[in-house]
Amino acid sequence: MWLDCDDPELNAQHDAQTWRPTDLEQFAAHVRGDNGRHAMLIDCSANDMVASRYSYWLASGLHVVTPNKLASSGPLSRWQAIRAASQHGGRFRYEATVCAGLPVVQTLRDLLDTGDQLLSVEGMFSGTLAWLCCHYDGKRPFSALVREAHALGYTEPDPRDDLSGMDVARKLVILAREAAWPLSLHDVGIESLVPSELAEVPLDEFMARLPELDAPMAARLAEAKAHQGVLRHVASLDRNGRTQVGLQALPSSHPFAHTRLTDNIVQFRTQRYHDNPLLVQGPGAGPEVTAAGIFTDLLRIAEALEVRA
């Protein structure tokens, strides 16, 4: 890490920095300062060790903004400690943990804060899997599309991180906890698109054996087409706490059948929006929209802290 107080003369030079071993508590103390001013940490690390410090930073008065899903979907005790600390210390915002810049968490929060009751959540939470499903029509092998998505940078460096469904499951857990349902990852039924024999092999071997995904996916697509439907990767949570993440064959009339490119779409069914569910849809991946979600959280905290005469 590098603290701007290390050397005033070096601070004036753009090509010189004084580095020291990372100490998260020392770093947080430096950001917080000792003059009583408001201070904020924005964590874009996707690192579990960093996420484990949130409750302590919030309790000390630091505000935290993050797209890091590991805090809000990790151990339930950690999430409870973060919530408790944010009630009496710094403010915690994490809109970009679900669907990047789309206003999904805030929309759910607004519904609940105005007295509505969440009945179910259903959605396509992965831009990568949305792209794959939208492009997979049987004319090209599924493995070819995965390679193309990997080359375009749509997938994680290891495509199994997307194909396993674990990232989607984390987003579902975050929304469930926002609605005060104490779910954890082990409560989510996840259908992985990665065969068990490929789950732990080295990345190079997995990429070489990608065609092993083709036959199972072709069978799923044929089944969907036989019922005049489309294949989509969907996550769902019902009012009884039942969860599911995986491929579904949906009728062509379903709202999820008409998504484009890397679109995410989330459907909230509540007491207020019972017969006609509330939909939030738009690009759910990419640095620009993710940065917008983070910046929105920063502005909301700044607005909440503003002192008015």
Residue 139: is its pLDDT beyond 70? yes
Residue with the bigger pLDDT between 7 and 22: it is: 22
For position 226, what pLDDT does the model report?
93
Strand pairing class (63-65; 263-270): unpaired
Measure the N-to-C terminal CA separation of the chain; round to a whole number of Å. 39
pLDDT band at 33 (very low <50, low <70, confident <90, very high): confident
- Residue 144: pLDDT band (50, 70, 90) is very high
**Whether the predicted pLDDT of 107 surpasses 70:** yes
Q: Active site residue: 69, 139, 171, 225, which one?
A: 171
The model carries a pTM of: 0.89
Higher pLDDT, residue 234 or 153: 234
Mean pLDDT for the chain overall: 90
Read off the pLDDT of each residue in 212-217 and give the average, rounded to a whole number.
Answer: 96
Q: What are phi and psi of 11, to 5 degrees?
A: -60, -30
Mean pLDDT of 50-76: 95
Report the relative pairing of strands 278-283 and 263-270 from DSSP bridges: antiparallel
How wide is the angle at C-alpha 165 spanned by C-alphas 163 and 170, nearest 5°? 140
Residue 5 pLDDT level (bands cut at 50, 70, 90): low
Residues 66-78: what's their mean pLDDT? 95
- Has 171 been annotated as catalytic? yes
User: Rounded distance, CA 202 to CA 186, Å?
Assistant: 25
φ, ψ of residue 83 in degrees (nearest 5): -65, -45
Q: What is the pLDDT of residue 1?
A: 83
Evaluate whether 66 touches 94 at the Cβ level (below 8 Å): yes
Q: Is the pLDDT of residue 196 over 50?
A: yes
pLDDT score, position 58: 96
**Which two structure tokens, joined as six digits, stand for 16?**
């010189």
pLDDT band of 309, cuts 50, 70, 90: very low
pLDDT at 279 exceeding the cut of 90: yes
CA distance 60 to 232: 44
pLDDT value at position 81?
A: 96
The pLDDT confidence band at residue 46, using thresholds 50, 70 and 90, is: confident
Q: Average of pLDDT values for 22-26?
A: 92
Mean pLDDT within 63-72 = 95
Mean pLDDT of 72-100: 94
Question: According to the model, what pLDDT value does residue 272 have?
Answer: 96
Cβ 193 vs Cβ 165: under 8 Å? yes
Res. 10: pLDDT tops 80: no
Residue 160 scores a pLDDT above 90 = yes
CB of 125 within 8 A of CB of 235?
A: yes
